[in-house]
């Protein structure tokens, strides 16, 4: 038997760690992308509602007839009235076609599931580095999480390049998923802080 054909226990755990770290990174990116896509859908939904409110108000019969009757002759008044009516119809059709509110909720639900997955992979990395679980146990948990991830992603709504760019900016430049030691200390009770002076630090 070739001794070089089998990895040592340490090498085995190192390979597992490398793989799980990469999966964690992918899940973190997908999670953040769905969060950003939900924000985009929320903005579009608010904009769509505002436009509909304005058009509905402007197209109210008495108000519109009085306004265009004062400013324009009858022929142009009829044309403007018809055009605004078309815009209102288009807005109503847009509500049925582009359901931004529903899409926003779908992305938020997916993000919530991915957040749980992300934290599970993080716990797996901690257990692997702390050597509290055997390599076989880690593999079993990894495979189970992979099946869960496959199901979540299969049911997930599609995201856009714009959402991915926003997620990339948040993770790379704004450090959305990271905290300094001081920031974590300030979120914890004094007894659980790493820096004893953090509780007395008034900065």
List pLDDT tens digits, range 66-113.
Answer: 555 555 556 655 566 666 666 666 666 556 656 788 899 999 999 999
For the chain, the DSSP string reads --GGGS--HHHHHHHHHHHHHHHHHHHHHHHHHHHHHHHHHHHHHHHHHHHHHHHHHHT-HHHHHHHHHHHS-HHHHHHHHHHHHHHHHHHHHHHHH--HHHHHHHHHHHHHHHHHHHHHHHHHHHHHHHT-S-HHHHHHHHHHHHHHHHHHHHHPPP--HHHHHHHHHHHHTS-TT---HHHHHHHS-GGG-S-GGGGG---
Q: What is the pTM of this model?
A: 0.72
Checking if the pLDDT of 193 tops 90, the result is no
Checking if the pLDDT of 61 tops 80, the result is no
Residue predicted with more confidence, 183 or 148: 148
Please state which of the ranges 13-17, 59-63, 154-158 shows the lowest mean pLDDT. Answer: 59-63
Cα 60 to Cα 162: distance, rounded to the nearest angstrom: 37
Model confidence pLDDT, tens digit, residues 113-167: 999 999 999 999 999 888 888 889 999 999 999 999 999 999 999 999 999 999 9
């Amino acid at each position: 038997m070739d001794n070089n054909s089998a990895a040592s226990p340490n090498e085995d755990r190192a390979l597992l760690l490398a793989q799980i770290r990469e999966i964690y990174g992918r899940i973190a990116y997908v999670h953040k992308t769905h969060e950003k896509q939900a924000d985009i859908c929320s903005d579009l939904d608010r904009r769509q509602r505002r436009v509909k409110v304005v058009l509905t108000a402007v197209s109210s019969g008495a108000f519109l007839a009085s306004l265009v009757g004062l400013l324009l002759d009858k022929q142009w008044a009829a044309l403007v009235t018809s055009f605004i009516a078309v815009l209102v119809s288009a807005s109503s059709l847009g509500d049925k076609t582009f359901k931004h509110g529903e899409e926003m909720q779908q992305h938020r639900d997916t993000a919530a599931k991915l957040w749980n997955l992300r934290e599970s992979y993080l716990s797996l990395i901690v257990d692997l580095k702390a050597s509290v679980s055997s390599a076989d146990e880690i593999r079993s948990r990894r495979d189970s999480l992979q099946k869960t991830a496959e199901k979540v992603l299969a049911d997930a709504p599609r995201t856009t390049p714009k959402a991915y760019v926003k997620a990339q900016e948040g993770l790379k430049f704004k450090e959305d998923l990271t905290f300094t030691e001081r920031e974590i200390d300030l979120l914890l009770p004094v007894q659980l802080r790493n820096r004893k002076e953090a509780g007395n630090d008034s900065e």
